[in-house]
Amino acid sequence: MILAPHIAAHVFNVPLMVEPGKLQAALIGLGARLVEGGIQLPGVVAVDHIAFAGGRPSDSMGRIGNPLGRSYEKAGVGDYLLDRVDGIGVIPIEGTLVHKGKFVGQSSGETSYEGLQAQITRATADPSIKGVVFEVDSFGGEVAGAFETAKMIAALSDEKPTLAILTDFAMSAGYLMASAARQIVMPETGGAGSIGVVTIHTDMSRALENDGVKVTLLSSGAHKVDGHPFGPLADDVRASIQARLDRSRELFAGAVGAFRGKRLTKDAALATEAQTYFGSDAVAAGLVDGIIDPSRAFAEFHRKVN
């Protein structure tokens, strides 16, 4: 039995840009909240705070017209949308990245694209902001909202100096965000990559049968209940989901190629096959531009911009 369908809707049968190891760990931690009896994945240790740690995706104010940012401006606290150090705006991109959430910054291990967009809009419009540092430490999250947010970072990068400082990881959707900055740096222990997309399907039929429960689905439309969790995944549905994942990966690699240019082309991004790279290997692969201590990276950026 699905115990929290509102959370499950953000986890199962939807494309996610997230590093697979962290996704597995999140499923273990969330299993008992999502499915009666929990989810068992052999050899995976629970990391309870990786995704949706608050027990539910955060509420939203909606995205059209930047209502979150406008609410700050209307209250006269627009300056609080982002931290600033001597004309440098600092925008953290940390934890699990979720589509909507009426908060700015990290909350219960999540950062919302909605909040990031409000911060980016403010940083773009504010003449006192001379440059922006994105502090990235994320293993990824939802596809929905990711590309729009990355494009906003890229547009900001066209207008003002930007730098993504990894502290220490930018995986999957986290890397998509970082790739839109003018430059990416990280410490020796940092990692980047996982340029791919994943979807989870859960077959609960055996568990339901053991509990004496039989589910009958009544629907109109041949594909209305595609991917339902009450039986095995049909071959044609599997093929449809795979095609959707492949399209999303093409978009992902294309966006990275557009942002990184010759440093990491679309073809090179696809050729990584969603591999993760660490330290100097990430530099050699073109995913990051240099290895440097984060504090020193910020100091050098501050000096150049000011």
Active-site positions read 172
CA distances from 120 to 82, 183, 195, 237 (A): 9, 17, 23, 38
Distance (Å, whole) CA 295 – CA 187: 10
Which residues have C-beta within 8 Å of that of residue 212, sequence separation ≥ 6? none
Nearest 5°: phi and psi at 104?
A: -110, 135
Phi-psi region at 282: left, alpha or beta (left = phi > 0; alpha = psi -120 to 50): alpha
